[in-house]
Amino acid sequence: MVQIAFSLFVISIAYDVICGERERGVLALVASNPVSKYHILIGKYLGGMASLLVPLAIGWIAAALLINVNPMIEFHIAEWSRFALLFAPLVLYLSAFFLLSMLVSAITGRSARALVWLLFLWIVIVFIIPNGAVYIAKQVRPIPSKAVVNIESAAIEAAFREKIRDYGAKHRSGSYFTSERSVISGNLPFAFHVLTGSREAMRWYLEGAKFYIPHRIEYAEQIGNRHQDYYRSLKRQTVLAENLSRLSPAWVYYNISAGLSGTDLRRHERFIRQAQDYRKTLMTYMQEQGAFSSVNWFTSVNLNDMPSQAGLVASDEETFFENVTPKSWDDVEPLDLSGMPVLSSGPAWGNVALGGVLPDLVYLIFLNILLFLVTGAIFLKSEVR
């Protein structure tokens, strides 16, 4: 809305702010009064921006009221601060287009010519520069297709499944264990919902898990490395496209808004790093708790309290359930997870967010100052007739 519709609306109301009044003789009439051209220019800018920002501010306040009364949304000080700060780049962005319109209007002699030039510049700023930057970045820093990475990942996954099948074929078990109300005989060396079973079955399951889990981690890291290599190449391409796109105020405004909202690339990368650190912390915690090295991770029943396989071989399914303990998940005590690490993504704004968007904010401020000074210099030297 702001990047495209609002910027075009600014041009539509400001393209003749100087040349249009010069054509109609209004500018000469105003200049005949004891007021300097400098004050005329400031008055046109302040009046035009006020006509834009007053309704936008009303809409912003209305949106804040709707957010505040919505029971499904809970904003805290950080969110309200970011919501308020998002209005600043909007003002700077629209101001840049208003000043650009004043500049072109001061240079050209006719309103129609000013409108044509401004529409051309609007297309270049909003569409051509950002999309052209992406195209140039793809040519300068090409990367392999994501489909290649997906194919390689699928091949690694297939190799993992083949290794597990081979292990299962060589380590079949005639023991029985139960998953809720289903009795399962040993085939593959792992299961996902083991309730209890014979001592032999649980030992078989534990040995399979000792084989399965390390390989699962190993192959997952191989797939992760493939994707990391791809995203590192993609990031280098993206950074080049971003730097080239900074020639466009439209992209700069988008980058500032995304940074303040916590939805930009830097925030995403920060979350990925936090998730990777959490994965390491969680794996360390599980290893310290004896993960996959004790049947306590698969059943709350003591191994010595489980019936032996010899006493269950001749039993039918009904008799089997009478002998196993527990008989359902309702009989299982919940795990104590109070010591498990918790993922914390951290604040989405603050020094991190402001530091990321500060160069772009300075750029927009400098662009506004430059456009105003150039417009003022040209307007002061121009004729009012």
Alpha carbon distance 148, 361 (integer Å): 39
| Structure-block tokens of residue 257 | 């808004």
100-125: pLDDT as tens digits? 999 999 898 789 999 999 999 999 99
Check if the beta carbon of residue 170 is closer than 8 Å to that of residue 263. no
Domain locations along the chain:
2-139+351-381, 146-239+263-331
Highest mean pLDDT among 125-139, 160-174, 206-220: 125-139
Cα 132-134-139 angle, rounded to 5 deg: 95
- Residue 284's identity, in one-letter code, is T
Q: How far is CA 133 from the centre of its chain?
A: 21
Look at strands 176-179 and 182-185 and give their pairing: antiparallel
Give the mean model confidence (pLDDT) for residues 236-245.
92
276-296: pLDDT as tens digits? 899 999 988 888 887 777 777
| Short-list 227, 213, 225, CA closest to 163 | 213
46-76: pLDDT as tens digits? 999 999 999 999 999 999 999 999 988 888 8
| Number of Cβ within a 10 Å radius of residue 348 | 18
Q: What is the pLDDT of residue 21?
A: 82
> What is residue 116's three-state secondary structure?
helix
What global pTM score does this model have?
0.75
Alpha carbon distance 231, 221 (integer Å): 15
Alpha carbon distance 106, 252 (integer Å): 26
